[in-house]
């Protein structure tokens, strides 16, 4: 219908051109609704968030302040540059390591050495930059980034390890595979608010609730779970001190980065693991289906047992999927909102709020729109580097 | 469970070949083997952990307040009135209606924009096609944390002078009408439709729109199903956006309704769990009936991502 009928022209080339123009118009009309919507609600907000971050903006737009919001956020530009530069150096180090910048034969070994050195430099840059950000910048924000880091570094590896184990078990010749898969996948489709409500009830500080019942059945003290702001490491050590230390033993008090996450955050991490393990397992199963069967048959002929097959065939063959899920998991961590928002309480905000909640509060509670925008742009840069890293690796795999 | 074979056959058709279709068991019949006993035990433990929260929720939702304090695993007498209370007093009737309405409208809008654009990106040649597609896809990398503030201001009418749309039905649905990921899925699907079909349709004098509506869409059942399910779950589970832009119960969906209920219910866990059951049940029922399509859709799309 949209196609203009071929006009009676003399040359076939002209006819073709007109037909193509009609087709162009159809194409543009077809993509118009989606493009307008995504442009309006997906792309434009990025530009506008950056625009907002350059103003003083509390509920209503104020005067232009340039980079003042960023200045206030990071405190000191050297720290920020060092931190972001260090993150980028990790990407460079990786490509050096895998020989992405190979110039001549025999480069491989030097590439690895250089890659290792670059990684070391990246680590130094990140940690030095981080120190300056923490001392001169917005402490609350960077503390929330640390909690995001805990969240990611604890939940993602556990999810992946559990998922790969589940997937390879389900992949055996067992009865009721569909049934198991369905049960493992259930948490993923559960609305996070409802799941969070259930976990809140289970991990309530009240003694009669499920988690504390299990604790007391095991002979352990009841915990405050979601209301506990102290780090888990401290709680565990203090438990042993009170248990075995005798009457005069002093309790420890851990603070700082190496103290690790609070018990409240750990409870939320447990919820995250419960939610996403099944999802990861389903993707791993799809990956398993792509592993050639004859690899296992050859291994069996060579006398490899199940464990050897798992570690020498399954795990290596699944490594691209593992990588994909790891990066996806970290990006998801940076964006995690609902689970944390539902499970936190006013008293534990300093113990559980990750970056996205900090930004939300800056906007919603403190009404500092421009600062929230600046914080979100900073977070976006970090996520972007992670995503680029992911894309590079996946892109390389696709071409090779 | 009896219709599983039917579902499997149905999902088998169409270009997006499900990743599980191949039988992994290399043709062996699935039988119980004693050597697999540890596997079954491990899997059962896993299934137990997965399932315990659901059991806890269902059981607690039928208890009296006294039962919840008395460390009971099951209620003495199932209190179905808890549901009545949550349903009427806590307005879960309204929230459920809202969630159903929001999902239905969003799914229709999504199908409209995504079939059209997916088709155009797959099968119509026009200048800038790939550039536009890549730009749209790049929005997948953009975290919601960055976009929600400008989106909120836009809906409030601060950015574009179109008035305040906070707390309206269209502000809750229209932004979700188009997502790059769903368009990507449609494009993948449409790209694999044989070219001969289009050639013969063209000879019959059909344009792109007629070809799309009469030939392509009837063939696209699997992808329409997958996209519908994914969108449904996304809308049903969406939380931050409705939390931001609804301030009366008029259009408030279940998630936000349940959240406000958590804030208000305090120690009345049994009512809270009844509300959670109402929130979860529709998704679970849908999942039970479409689980093959569901997991396969997610697995294949997840791997391509």
Q: pLDDT tens digits for B123-150?
A: 998 999 999 999 998 888 888 889 999 9
pLDDT at residue A1 tops 50: no
Indicate whether A208 and A335 sit together in one domain: yes
pLDDT at A107 (0 to 100): 63
Q: Where in chain B is the domain with CATH 1.10.3720.10?
A: 94-304
The answer to whether the CB atoms of A335 and B154 lie below 8 A apart is: no
Indicate whether A248 and A331 sit together in one domain: yes
Rounded to 5 degrees, φ, ψ at A177 are -60, -45
Q: Which of A160, A161, A180, A198 to substitute to test the interface with B, most B CBs within 10 Å?
A: A198
Evaluate whether residue A70 is within a structural domain.
no
Among A85, A103, A136, give the residue marking a domain's end. A136
CATH of residue A368: 1.10.3720.10
Among A84, A111, A136, give the residue marking a domain's end. A136
Average pLDDT, chain B: 84
Average confidence (pLDDT) over B189-201: 90
Q: Does A214 touch chain B (CB under 8 A)?
A: no
Evaluate whether residue A62 is within a structural domain.
no
Q: How far is CA A312 from CA A173, A288, A296, A308, B175, in A?
A: 20, 14, 10, 6, 47
Which chain A residue is nearest to residue B123, measuring alpha carbons? Answer: A27
Indicate whether A123 and A146 sit together in one domain: no
* CATH code assigned to B94-304: 1.10.3720.10
pLDDT at residue A94 tops 90: no
CB contact at 8 A, B125 and B191: no
CB contact at 8 A, A91 and A388: yes
Residue B156, judged by CB atoms within 10 A of its CB (0-12, 13-18, 19+), counts as middle
Question: What pLDDT digit, counting tens, does each position of A144-165 carry?
Answer: 999 999 999 999 999 999 999 9
CA dist., res. B231 & res. A186, Å (int): 17
Nearest to A371 by CA among A138, A110, A77, A179: A138
pLDDT at B9 (0 to 100): 32
| Element holding A283 (H helix, E strand) | helix A263-289
ipTM above threshold 0.95: no
CB contacts of B147 in chain A (<8 Å) are 41-42, 45-46, 49
Indicate whether A97 and A26 sit together in one domain: no
For chain A, the domain total comes to: 3
Indicate whether A124 and A162 sit together in one domain: no
How would residue A357 be classed by pLDDT, with cut points 50, 70 and 90? very high
The answer to whether the CB atoms of A27 and B113 lie below 8 A apart is: no
Nearest to B123 by CA among B16, B196, B25, B223: B196
DSSP string, A139-178: HHHHHHHHHHHHHHHHHHHHHHHHHHHHHHHHTSS-TTHH
Evaluate whether residue A347 is within a structural domain.
yes
How would residue B291 be classed by pLDDT, with cut points 50, 70 and 90? confident
How would residue A100 be classed by pLDDT, with cut points 50, 70 and 90? low
Average confidence (pLDDT) over B270-297: 87
Indicate whether A29 and A155 sit together in one domain: no
Question: What pLDDT digit, counting tens, does each position of A65-75 carry?
Answer: 999 999 999 98
Structure tokens belonging to residue A350: 């300093």
pLDDT at residue A10 tops 50: no
CA dist., res. A217 & res. A211, Å (int): 10
| pLDDT-wise least confident of A75-84, B30-39, B252-261 | B30-39
Q: Does A298 touch chain B (CB under 8 A)?
A: no
pLDDT at B178 (0 to 100): 94
Q: What percent of chain B has a predicted confidence (pLDDT) above 90?
A: 48
Average confidence (pLDDT) over B244-248: 92
Evaluate whether residue A66 is within a structural domain.
no
How many Å lie between the alpha carbon of A10 and the closest alpha carbon of chain B? 21
CB contacts of B120 in chain A (<8 Å) are 26-28, 30-31
How would residue A104 be classed by pLDDT, with cut points 50, 70 and 90? low
Residue span of the structural domain in which A40 resides: 12-53
Indicate whether A233 and A354 sit together in one domain: yes
pLDDT at A383 (0 to 100): 87
Of B30, B43, B117, the CB nearest to A173: B30
Evaluate whether residue A352 is within a structural domain.
yes
Evaluate whether residue A342 is within a structural domain.
yes
How many Å lie between the alpha carbon of B111 and the closest alpha carbon of chain A? 10
pLDDT at residue B254 tops 50: yes
| pLDDT-wise least confident of A45-49, A101-105, B51-55, B106-110 | A101-105
Indicate whether A146 and A100 sit together in one domain: no
End-to-end CA distance of chain B, in Å? 31
Q: Does A34 touch chain B (CB under 8 A)?
A: yes
């Amino acid at each position: 219908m949209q196609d203009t009928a071929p006009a009676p022209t003399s040359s076939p080339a002209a006819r073709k051109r007109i037909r193509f123009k009609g087709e162009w118009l159809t194409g543009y009309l077809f993509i118009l609704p989606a493009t307008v919507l995504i442009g309006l609600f997906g792309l434009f907000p990025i530009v506008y968030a950056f625009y907002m971050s350059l103003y003083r903006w509390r509920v209503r737009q104020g005067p232009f302040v340039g980079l003042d919001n960023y200045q206030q956020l990071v405190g000191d530009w050297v720290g920020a540059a060092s931190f972001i530069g260090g993150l980028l150096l990790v990407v460079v180090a990786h490509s050096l390591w895998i020989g992405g910048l190979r110039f001549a034969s025999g480069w491989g070994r030097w590439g690895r050495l250089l890659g290792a050195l670059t990684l070391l430099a990246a680590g130094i840059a990140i940690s030095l930059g981080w120190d300056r950000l923490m001392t001169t910048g917005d402490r609350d924000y960077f503390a929330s980034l640390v909690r995001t880091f805990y969240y990611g570094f604890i939940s993602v590896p556990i999810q992946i390890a559990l998922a790969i184990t589940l997937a390879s078990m389900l992949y055996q010749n067992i009865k009721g595979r569909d049934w198991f898969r369905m049960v493992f996948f259930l948490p993923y489709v559960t609305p996070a608010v409802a799941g969070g409500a259930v976990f809140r009830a289970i991990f309530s500080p009240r003694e009669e609730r499920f988690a504390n019942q299990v604790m007391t059945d095991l002979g352990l003290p009841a915990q405050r779970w979601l209301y506990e702001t102290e780090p888990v490491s401290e709680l565990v050590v203090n438990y042993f001190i009170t248990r075995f230390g005798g009457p005069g033993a002093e309790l420890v008090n851990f603070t700082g980065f190496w103290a690790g996450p609070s018990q409240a955050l750990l409870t939320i991490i447990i919820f995250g693991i419960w939610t996403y393990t099944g999802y990861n397992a389903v993707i791993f199963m799809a990956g398993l289906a792509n592993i050639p069967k004859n690899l296992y048959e050859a291994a069996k002929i060579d006398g490899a047992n199940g464990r050897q097959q798992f570690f020498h065939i399954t795990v290596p063959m699944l490594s691209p999927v593992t990588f994909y899920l790891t990066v996806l998991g970290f990006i998801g961590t940076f964006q995690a909102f609902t689970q944390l928002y539902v499970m936190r309480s006013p008293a534990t905000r300093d113990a559980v709020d990750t970056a996205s909640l900090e930004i939300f509060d800056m906007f919603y509670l403190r009404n500092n729109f421009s600062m929230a925008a600046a914080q979100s742009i900073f977070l976006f840069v970090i996520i972007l580097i992670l995503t680029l890293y992911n894309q590079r690796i996946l892109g390389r795999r696709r071409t090779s | 469970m009896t219709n599983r074979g039917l579902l499997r056959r149905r999902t088998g058709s169409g270009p997006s070949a499900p990743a599980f279709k191949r039988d992994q068991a290399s043709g062996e019949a699935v039988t119980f083997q004693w050597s697999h006993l540890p596997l079954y035990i491990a899997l059962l433990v896993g299934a137990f952990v997965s399932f315990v929260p659901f059991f806890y929720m269902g059981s607690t939702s039928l208890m009296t307040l006294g039962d919840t304090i008395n460390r009971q695993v099951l209620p003495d007498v199932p209190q179905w009135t808890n549901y009545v209370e949550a349903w009427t007093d806590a307005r879960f009737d309204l929230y459920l209606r809202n969630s159903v309405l929001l999902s239905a409208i969003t799914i229709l809008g999504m199908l409209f924009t995504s079939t059209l654009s997916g088709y155009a990106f797959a099968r119509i040649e026009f200048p800038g096609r790939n550039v536009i597609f890549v730009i749209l896809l790049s929005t997948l990398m953009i975290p919601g944390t960055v976009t929600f503030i400008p989106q909120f201001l836009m809906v409030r009418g601060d950015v574009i002078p179109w008035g305040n749309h906070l707390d309206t039905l269209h502000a809750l649905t229209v932004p979700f009408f188009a997502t790059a990921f769903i368009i990507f899925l449609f494009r993948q699907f449409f790209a694999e439709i044989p070219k001969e079909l289009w050639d013969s349709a063209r000879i019959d004098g059909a344009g792109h729109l007629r070809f799309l509506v009469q030939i392509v869409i009837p063939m696209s059942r699997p992808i329409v199903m997958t996209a519908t399910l994914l969108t449904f779950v996304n809308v049903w589970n969406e939380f931050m956006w409705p939390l931001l832009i609804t301030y009366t119960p008029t259009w408030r969906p279940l998630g936000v309704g349940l959240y406000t209920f958590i804030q208000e219910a305090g120690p009345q866990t049994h009512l809270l769990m009844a509300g959670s059951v109402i929130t979860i049940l529709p998704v679970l029922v849908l999942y039970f009936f479409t689980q093959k399509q569901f997991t396969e859709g997610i697995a294949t799309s997840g791997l391509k991502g």
